[in-house]
Amino acid sequence: MDDRIKLYMDEHVPLAVTAALRRRGIDVVRAQDVGLHPADDDVHLAFATSAGRVVMTQDADFLRLHASGTGHAGIVYAPQQTPIRYLIQTLTILVDVVTPSEMIGHVEYL
């Protein structure tokens, strides 16, 4: 069983972040890759959860879904305008040190 986090990028995350993570061997899919652009946030979260993927987002609406008790495989949130380099570095570290089971129902703030 793979013990590395798999990521799902919503449409707010810059493509450069996804490309850099893929070059590092991290399993990442984008909303656009799976035909979910555009879609409501609850649809994104449901897809990612069913696929066992942690949502990476810069959309605070995902925090509201978490607060409402919606189950998920994990959410990583960074505010808009977070530097791309910082996102790449912190997501790489997260994937290296946190397991998928540790992310279930958890929000990680970058």
- pLDDT tens profile 13-38: 999 999 999 999 999 999 999 988 88
- Residues 47-97: pLDDT tens digits? 999 999 999 999 999 999 999 999 999 999 999 999 999 999 999 999 999
State pTM to two decimals: 0.94
**Sign of the torsion angle spanned by Cα atoms 40, 42, 43, 47:** positive
Domain limits, the chain: 7-109
Distance (Å, whole) CA 12 – CA 57: 6
Q: Which residues make Cβ contacts (< 8 Å) with residue 49, sequence separation at least 6?
A: 71, 72, 73
pLDDT of residue 2: 63
CA 94 from chain centre, in angstroms, equals 11
CA angle 24, 30, 35 (to 5 degrees): 150
Give me the sign of the Cα torsion angle 83, 59, 15, 99: positive
pLDDT of 1 > 60? The answer is no
Are 89 and 42 spatial neighbours (Cβ–Cβ below 8 Å)?
no
